[in-house]
Amino acid sequence: QQPVQSPQAVILREGEDAVINCSSSKALYSVHWYRQKHGEAPVFLMILLKGGEQKGHDKISASFNEKKQQSSLYLTASQLSYSGTYFCGTAGGATNKLIFGTGTLLAVQP
């Protein structure tokens, strides 16, 4: 089943923070985060593995709570380049295939 993301869409001013949540009904082995610009393929942001992992790069970080089967992506001091649709991808089961979440549209305005 497809992971559910919240919010569906968010509008920010440059410099503001945002949190995007991803929730799955199935047990997870890993969570992947991607950003997609209009008309382009998704771009990999980061992967989180089991065990309460947290990870970050520049001003984007993420956490993974395997017990709650949830992950959150944190965008700090947002920049115009952060605009796009963010997808979480959850992997689990024998095949470890990646199932994408419902997506969150993020628009950063000047």
Partner 1 sequence: GAVVSQHPSWVICKSGTSVKIECRSLDFQATTMFWYRQFPKQSLMLMATSNEGSKATYEQGVEKDKFLINHASLTLSTLTVTSAHPEDSSFYICSARREADNEQFFGPGTRLTVL
Applying CB under 8 A, the residues found at the interface with partner 1 are 2, 30, 32, 34, 40-44, 47, 87, 89, 91, 95-103
> How many Å apart are CA 103 and CA 4, to the nearest integer?
8
Give least dist CB 31 to partner 1, A.
12
Closest of 84, 66, 100 to residue 75, by C-alpha:
84
Structure tokens at 41: 């393929």
- Toward partner 1, which CB reaches closer, 16 or 92? 92
Give least dist CB 15 to partner 1, A.
27
- Toward partner 1, which CB reaches closer, 1 or 81? 1
State which amino acid sits at residue 40. Answer: E
- Toward partner 1, which CB reaches closer, 19 or 46? 46
- Toward partner 1, which CB reaches closer, 84 or 89? 89
Residues 6+ apart with CB under 8 A from 59: 75, 76, 77, 78, 79
Give least dist CB 88 to partner 1, A.
10
Give least dist CB 16 to partner 1, A.
24
> How many Å apart are CA 19 and CA 86, to the nearest integer?
11
> How many Å apart are CA 54 and CA 31, to the nearest integer?
11
